[in-house]
Amino acid sequence: MRSRDAYWKQANRALLVKALAELCYEQALVAEPLSEGRYSVSLASGVKYHFHAWLTIWDWLLIEAESIEREHHGQRAPAEDAAQFFIDAAGDLEATPSTLGNLLHELANTLVADVALLEKREGLRAETLAQLSDEQLQCLLDGHPKAMVNKGRIGWGAREFNLYATESAQGVRLLWLAVRRALAVSGNSQAWDWQQLLAESLSEGQCQLLDTVRREKGIDWQAFLPLPVHPWQWQRHIRQHYARHISCGDLVLLGAFGDEYLPQVSLRTLSNLSRPQALHIKLPLTVLNTSCFRGIPGKYMRCGPILSAWMQRLCERDTTLRARGTGILQEVAGLHVPHVHHEQIAGTPYRFRELLGVTWRQSPAGLCVQGERHLLMAALLQRDSRGNSVAVALIEASGLSVQAWLAQLFDATVVPLYHLLSRYGVGLVAHSQNLTLVFRDNRVVRVLLKDFQGDLRLAQGDFPDRGDLPSEVEAVLDQLPPSHIVHDLFTGHFVTVLRYLSAQMAVEIGLCELDFYAVLAQVLRRYQKSVVTKAPQMAERFQQFNLFRQRFERVCINRVRLRQGYGDSAERPVPIVGGDLHNPLWLAEQQQPGQIQLQPETLSSEEASL
């Protein structure tokens, strides 16, 4: 076992790699090439950072962590202090002292979590990680690769980290409240009533205990609804902000009951520790993490179950989606308790409007059949201490060629996302934590989609095929021009997920990036051909949502925090657009037209018959 200091230096170097690479990609900093594979970043402070790197197809640097050196007053030394880098670069990043101070707060929390993960994964090879259950592996993941300080968790300290953080892998027992129905905004599918939701989260004995307490406190379920709350959220926020409702008996604490729940990598979504097939519970946690406070907006509560049920019906009736087994992790119920005072203030900080609520969502374990297993797509990017990835471990265990395995991955994930966008004008921000992959024999066979609260938007225009979308749902969802919403797939998935996967495979197994995107291009072209053959009018849609255009806008998320700072706002942060990118799909088709041949076994049964 290495020393804690060794882990600390490794975590700092890894964060330096991410910060330098992402800030250069977002054009906040400029990396000057010195010689082949050698770069330098000169800062306004007079400090320079030197490193070896490879420029990927995305105009993004893949930096060798051990090569980074800091030059100050002509003296060079290994760079092992991520906080010092941000201090050095503050002028270039246009960060105010207040912003820089808060960023260093997030940085410190992230580094502590990263060190804990390095210690936990020590000795675990990629082959072992790849065979862990989804729930186990989520507690070992590094998290969003694009966000520089992705475990900032402002609002939590060491105690909360040890009790409630994903890396702790500790079960959390929820508190249960009774909330007067008149106060709540709620919605539930016809298949789930509130008593069933209670029974899903509590064993029969625990249900009886809760019922005894409920009767002792004079609670009648005809007038109240059950509401789980995270114990930290109750202590830190609810007792104070909702004191008025508590004092008059409209909000009643019943106590801690039921099974323990394991925090997933998203922090606020919890899976049942003893019964993985039980519904997941998503709860507000008013901590600042990966750019925003992790609350639950109340506007989706009534329509969430209706929307996810509509999405599931779409997957069942649509030939393209049904052929691929595309499914939905349905939000079967939601409940939100608006704050009586903050709701009256136009422009109040959004975190005060997202304090108390819950979403119950299907567990992927409950949708897998014999011989199947599920993993979050984020798991593919995880590497072991030798730098080997879960993705390559799965490929090697599958018995397929790299190209055939990737073709199945793309056919199961990218094609459904593109089909939803081009046929129905439905965009999903498909980052790696919103996609659950279902495997059979280590091969991806289908995808389960989730998280429609703010991550599902509609394209403006005439889309007759979504004509049965309930009006109350359409009224709540954001609607954007097609040129904007195409970024839900291009930026939300290609940039945010595939950018890292293609680079990892190039480094680990020597797969040329152009070959990687040539496979993706051929899968998409094959899909387009099969659709246009049956519905020629779709050719115009494919031009409207053109994934093959030469250049795309560069969307930046880290610069938002640096520019906006840490002050309260009425809305969640909006990304910044930088200079254009060359589209890897266009590049692949230009340089390697038709060179990658997909094997017949990579075709869906529907398309193999064409």
The answer to whether residues 589 and 441 belong to one domain is: yes
Phi, psi of 163 (to 5 degrees): -95, -35
pTM above 0.75, yes or no: yes
Domain boundary among 124, 144, 173: 124
From CA 281, how far away is CA 363, in angstroms rounded?
9
Q: Can you tell me the mean pLDDT for 402-430?
A: 97
pLDDT digits (tens, 9 = 90+) for 48-89: 999 999 999 999 999 999 999 999 999 999 999 999 999 999
Q: What pLDDT is attached to residue 18?
A: 98
Q: What pLDDT is attached to residue 338?
A: 95
pLDDT digits (tens, 9 = 90+) for 206-239: 999 999 999 999 999 999 999 999 999 999 999 9
Nearest CA to 353 among 400, 422, 415, 284?
A: 284
End-to-end CA distance of the chain: 57
From CA 519, how far away is CA 510, in angstroms rounded?
15
Q: What pLDDT is attached to residue 455?
A: 86
The answer to whether residues 169 and 206 belong to one domain is: yes
Domain boundary among 364, 379, 399: 364
The answer to whether residues 464 and 523 belong to one domain is: yes
Q: Can you tell me the mean pLDDT for 545-550?
A: 97
By three-state DSSP, how is residue 564 classified?
helix
Whether residue 504 lies inside any domain: the answer is yes
Q: What pLDDT is attached to residue 608?
A: 31
Asked whether the beta carbons of 166 and 263 are under 8 A apart, the reply is yes
Q: Can you tell me the mean pLDDT for 289-314?
A: 91
Nearest CA to 331 among 353, 355, 359?
A: 359
From CA 169, how far away is CA 329, in angstroms rounded?
23
Q: What pLDDT is attached to residue 538?
A: 96
Which amino acid would we find at residue 290?
T
The answer to whether residues 493 and 591 belong to one domain is: yes
Whether residue 136 lies inside any domain: the answer is no
Asked whether the beta carbons of 16 and 78 are under 8 A apart, the reply is no
Q: Can you tell me the mean pLDDT for 428-455?
A: 94
Whether residue 169 lies inside any domain: the answer is yes
Statement: residue 594 has pLDDT above 50: no
The answer to whether residues 44 and 77 belong to one domain is: yes
Task: Give me the sign of the Cα torsion angle 445, 451, 452, 458.
Answer: negative
Average pLDDT value over all residues in the chain = 93
Structure confidence at residue 605 as a pLDDT band (50, 70, 90): very low
Q: What pLDDT is attached to residue 91?
A: 95
Whether residue 533 lies inside any domain: the answer is yes
Asked whether the beta carbons of 450 and 329 are under 8 A apart, the reply is yes
Q: What pLDDT is attached to residue 607?
A: 37
pLDDT digits (tens, 9 = 90+) for 172-205: 999 999 999 999 999 999 889 998 999 999 989 9
Nearest CA to 392 among 496, 518, 504?
A: 504
By three-state DSSP, how is residue 606 classified?
helix
From CA 507, how far away is CA 524, in angstroms rounded?
25
Statement: residue 603 has pLDDT above 70: no
Structure confidence at residue 462 as a pLDDT band (50, 70, 90): very high
Place of tokens 């009643």: 252
Structural domain count of the chain:
3
Residue range of the domain that includes 402: 371-548+583-608
Domain boundary among 323, 347, 364: 364
The answer to whether residues 378 and 430 belong to one domain is: yes
The answer to whether residues 173 and 102 belong to one domain is: no
Structure confidence at residue 433 as a pLDDT band (50, 70, 90): very high
The answer to whether residues 375 and 351 belong to one domain is: no
Task: Give me the sign of the Cα torsion angle 506, 512, 517, 522.
Answer: negative
Whether residue 154 lies inside any domain: the answer is no
The answer to whether residues 379 and 360 belong to one domain is: no
Q: What pLDDT is attached to residue 499?
A: 98
Whether residue 152 lies inside any domain: the answer is no
From CA 331, how far away is CA 451, in angstroms rounded?
8
For residue 350, count CB atoms less than 10 angstroms from its CB and return exposed for 0-12, middle for 13-18, buried for 19 or more: middle
373 or 561: whose pLDDT is higher?
373
Whether residue 395 lies inside any domain: the answer is yes
Domain at 48, CATH number? 3.30.310.280
Statement: residue 600 has pLDDT above 60: no
Domain at 531, CATH number? 1.10.510.40
Burial string for 479-498 (b: 16+ CB within 10 Å, else e) reads ebebeebbbbbbbbbbbbbb
pLDDT digits (tens, 9 = 90+) for 510-541: 999 999 999 999 999 999 999 999 999 999 99
Among 405-409, 530-534, 575-579, which stretch is predicted with the lowest mean pLDDT? 575-579
Statement: residue 472 has pLDDT above 70: yes
The answer to whether residues 390 and 456 belong to one domain is: yes
Neighbours of 322 (CB within 10 A): 13
Q: Can you tell me the mean pLDDT for 572-601?
A: 74
Statement: residue 461 has pLDDT above 90: yes
Structure confidence at residue 592 as a pLDDT band (50, 70, 90): low
Structure confidence at residue 610 as a pLDDT band (50, 70, 90): very low
Q: What pLDDT is attached to residue 279?
A: 96
Task: Give me the sign of the Cα torsion angle 149, 108, 123, 20.
Answer: positive
The answer to whether residues 461 and 345 belong to one domain is: no
The answer to whether residues 267 and 334 belong to one domain is: yes
Which amino acid would we find at residue 105?
H
Phi, psi of 12 (to 5 degrees): -65, -45
Nearest CA to 297 among 225, 359, 242?
A: 359
pLDDT digits (tens, 9 = 90+) for 10-53: 999 999 999 999 999 999 999 999 988 999 999 999 999 999 99
Whether residue 453 lies inside any domain: the answer is yes
